[in-house]
């Protein structure tokens, strides 16, 4: 991993391959290694002739950790992506985000407009507008003295995932509180870029991809059969949909 020094925070990133660039933004409590490398995305996009730029979101992975809720507002997290693009002198890019990463991708697209050639929202649909709910339950689970003391099923799932990935639980709690700011419907309608929304058929977190698509000027929906919020990430159906989408929206 390379390191883009702050302020406001150091950002760890990878820049691999050659060709038209794709910026990859991972989900909550995840990282480049978990969300994009371990699922085969970096290899698949590289084989498709794409340059991949992937970074650990602030508070995650090898990037710097911050502990105030306001440090994790979507626009603050999107500013790290913009700083990285400017550092690498990337003028135009496709952006793919998964779950929380999709919400950050939306903020980035609103901020830089035509520099974003196209968007892929994975694992997140109209949940980014209406909210996914249960955030305080997740925060309580992250801040509990131990996993054994977490009683809610959802809280245990998030705490287990965070621990498994070596997450900083206090930073993640602040992130969960800060990044839950929803995308306003009028903001969604301003996302004029070609957009693909990809959600597992058993995903109970993302919300309705059809309802989000109805808000966007140029969106299409792909359903990953039999997959939930976690297992859709690296599915072949997902990859087989995204690669041609990148080609036709270049």
Residue 170 located in a structural domain: no
The domain of 118 spans 2-131+184-248
Among residues 73, 70, 34, 71, which one has the least CA distance to residue 54?
A: 34
> What are 72-100's pLDDT values in tens digits?
999 999 999 999 999 999 999 999 999 99
- Contacts of 111 by beta carbon, 8 Å cutoff, 6+ apart: 75, 78, 79, 82
Confidence of residue 134 (pLDDT cuts 50, 70, 90): confident
pLDDT value, residue 55: 98
Residue 179 located in a structural domain: no
181 has pLDDT over 90: no
* Widest pairwise Cα distance in the chain: 50
Residue 127 located in a structural domain: yes
Residue 137 located in a structural domain: no
Q: What is the CATH number of the domain that holds 91?
A: 3.40.50.1820
Residue 51 located in a structural domain: yes
Residue 38 dihedral angles phi and psi, to the nearest 5°: -65, -25
Local structure of 227: helix, strand or coil: coil
Residue 98 located in a structural domain: yes
Residue 193 located in a structural domain: yes
Sign of torsion, CA 111 100 217 49?
positive
DSSP states of 3-67? EE--SS--EEEEEE-SSSEEEEE--TT--HIIIIITTTHHHHHHHTT-EEEEEPPTTSTTS----
Considering its fold, how many domains does the chain have in total?
1
179 has pLDDT over 90: no
Residue 162 located in a structural domain: no
119 has pLDDT over 90: yes
């Amino acid at each position: 991993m390379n390191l883009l020094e702050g302020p406001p925070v150091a950002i760890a990133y990878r820049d691999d391959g050659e060709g038209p660039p794709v910026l990859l933004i991972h989900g909550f409590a995840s990282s480049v290694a978990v969300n994009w490398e371990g699922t085969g995305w970096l290899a698949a996009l590289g084989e498709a002739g794409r340059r991949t730029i992937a970074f650990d979101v602030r508070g995650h992975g090898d990037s710097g950790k911050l502990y105030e809720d306001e440090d994790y507002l979507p626009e603050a997290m999107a500013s790290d992506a913009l700083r990285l693009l400017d550092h690498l002198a990337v003028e135009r890019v496709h952006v793919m985000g998964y779950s929380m990463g999709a919400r950050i991708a939306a903020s980035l697209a609103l901020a830089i407009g035509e520099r974003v050639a196209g968007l892929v929202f994975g694992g997140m649909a109209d949940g980014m507008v209406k909210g996914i709910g249960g955030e305080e339950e997740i925060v309580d689970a992250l801040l509990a003295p131990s996993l054994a003391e977490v009683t809610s099923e959802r809280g245990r799932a998030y705490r287990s995932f965070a621990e498994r990935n070596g997450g900083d639980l206090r930073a993640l709690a602040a992130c969960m509180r800060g990044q839950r700011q929803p995308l306003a419907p009028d903001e969604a309608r301003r996302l004029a870029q070609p957009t693909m929304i990809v959600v597992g058929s058993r995903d109970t977190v993302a919300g309705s991809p059809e309802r989000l698509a109805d808000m966007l000027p140029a969106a299409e929906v792909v359903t990953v059969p039999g997959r939930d919020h976690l297992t859709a990430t690296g599915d072949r159906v997902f990859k087989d949909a995204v690669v041609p989408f990148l080609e036709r929206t270049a």
